[in-house]
Amino acid sequence: MSVGYRLFDSAQMYHNEKELAQAIKASTIKRKEVFITTKLSSGTNYENTKRSIQSSLSALDLDYIDLLLIHSPYPQAKEMYRAMEEFYHQGAIKALGISNFDTQQYLEFIKTCKIIPAVNQLQVHVFFQRESLQQIMQKHGTIMQAWSPFAAGKNNFFTNETLLKIGKKYHKTPAQVGLRYLIERNVNVIPKSSKKERMSENLNLFDFTLSREDLSAIKKLDRNQSLFGWDM
């Protein structure tokens, strides 16, 4: 928090909601100055999902959640979302979203949504850029948010020759170039780090702009496939 991070991404599956609540309470930051995201695990049905949402509110010790996501395209996702919409109308959730929905799943899901998901949180990075899905979501008003924008270091992300070469021009690291590329594509990024100096580095992205040549070079890194076996 001390370096300026104000968005906190949690989930029932991570078992970190109570710890996040304790950290926010221990800080001097006002509630309105932080943005809390959490994700629902499978709620099985409408009533159980309502109880699940209430459980997250209690664990986080909050009157409202800024963004609530369905963690995966569960078979009962549409029923879960109906419960989420109810909490949204009550003011207990400020924005609704989904996570890990591919193109077909997204298009099928929004057919029954009264409120179009504000966010679809996905695996997105320079090796898996997902531009076609982003274009489809933009037409419907859904923002692409990138989890693991560093590809968890796979494919030698941090020593990639293209990212190193571009970074040298701007005195930036491959990590900063990779994040900047996504930002310039209007992808919302949530990089993960436990090191304070890396957190500061991840925020230092707004004093340079990639050239057309840079963008073209990075686009060529796209392999158009997942790097994580469980996210296929």
3-state secondary structure of 152: helix
CB 150 within 8 A of CB 191: yes
Which tokens in the block code for residue 182?
């996504």
Is 88 assigned a catalytic role? no
> Which entry of 5, 14, 74, 170 is annotated as an active-site residue?
14
Report the C-alpha gap between 54 and 188 in whole angstroms: 27
Report the C-alpha gap between 89 and 120 in whole angstroms: 20
Q: In whole angstroms, what separates CA 26 from the centre of its chain?
A: 25
Distances (CA, A) of 77 to 42, 105, 114, 190, 215: 8, 10, 14, 24, 36
Amino acid at 197: E
Q: Which residues are catalytic?
A: 14
